[in-house]
């Protein structure tokens, strides 16, 4: 069942066109890895899906309903939550207070503060600590937990491993294991290509705001993904035709 649809989506930063005529359908329960070099348009596309950046043109459909003009806070109530790059926690609030903010969405479901603390066990002894005092891995766990407490149907994860030690990344992904198998629709932006391919059902590569690869993760070779990532397919096609 199709859960999320992008139709000819254009997103701009002033005169810069960051996402160009992107059309994409994401199935319910699918884990989609969105990859590409810096500046490819990945974060801009996630922000457009979350309602944090208004598209210049095109449509976004959730379960068949047009949500293009609906702001971010209302999309959270509709089941779309985003974990932004950089975590964006409230530094002077405690872990528990940051998590409780997710309850403001008013959605019922299995994700509670206590369940988040059980899944991200490293947060439990830190529940009363200010977010500013947390390690990078603890901050990422808290940011993911805050999104989960909204009980999302669609979870947008932007650069889960960015700036974390390999050990912290391992811990975060181990904790995410149950979520990845839960049937939640997930769009994951991840700089670690191996990690992205290991957890995703499908991989989409952006290059200069356009989709240049859209394949099942299990069927695509790392070489092909790398070629798409660096634009080598387009370069080879151009040289072959000249």
* pLDDT tens digits along 65-116: 999 999 999 999 999 999 988 778 989 999 999 999 888 887 888 899 999 9
Predicted pLDDT of residue 177: 78
Helix/strand/coil for 180: helix
| Weakly modelled stretches of the chain, pLDDT under 50 | 235, 237-242
Residues 171, 176, 181: CA angle, nearest 5 degrees:
145
Q: How far is CA 19 from CA 129, 141, 202, 238, in A?
A: 39, 29, 20, 22
- DSSP 8-class letter at 223: H
With 0-12 / 13-18 / 19 or more C-beta atoms within 10 angstroms meaning exposed / middle / buried, residue 184 is buried
Overall pTM > 0.85: yes
Task: Give me 33's structure tokens.
Answer: 């890895």
User: Domain residue spans in the chain?
Assistant: 2-241
- CATH of the domain spanning 2-241, picked from 3.40.50.300, 3.30.70.1140, 3.40.50.150, 1.10.1060.10: 3.40.50.300
């Amino acid at each position: 069942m199709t859960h999320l649809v992008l139709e000819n989506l254009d997103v701009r930063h002033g005169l810069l066109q960051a996402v160009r005529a992107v059309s994409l359908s994401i199935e319910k329960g699918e884990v989609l890895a969105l990859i590409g070099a810096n500046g490819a348009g990945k974060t801009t596309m996630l922000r457009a899906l979350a309602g944090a950046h208004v598209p210049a043109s095109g449509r976004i459909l959730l379960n068949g309903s047009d949500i293009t003009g609906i702001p971010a806070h209302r999309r959270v109530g509709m089941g779309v939550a985003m974990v932004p790059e950089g975590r964006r926690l409230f530094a002077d609030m405690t872990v528990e207070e940051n998590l409780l903010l997710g309850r403001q969405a008013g959605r019922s479901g299995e994700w509670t503060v206590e369940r988040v603390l059980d899944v991200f066990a490293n947060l439990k002894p830190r529940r009363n600590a200010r977010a500013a005092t947390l390690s990078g891995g603890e901050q990422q766990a808290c940011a993911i937990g805050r999104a989960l407490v909204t009980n999302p149907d669609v979870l947008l994860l932007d650069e889960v491993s960015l700036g974390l030690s390999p050990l912290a990344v391992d811990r975060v992904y181990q904790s995410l294991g149950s979520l990845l198998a839960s049937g939640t629709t997930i769009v994951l932006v991840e700089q670690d290509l191996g990690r992205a391919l290991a957890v995703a059902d499908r991989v989409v590569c952006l290059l200069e705001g356009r989709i240049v690869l859209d394949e099942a993760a299990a069927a695509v070779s790392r070489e092909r993904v790398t070629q798409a990532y660096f634009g080598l397919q387009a370069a080879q096609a151009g040289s072959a035709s000249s």
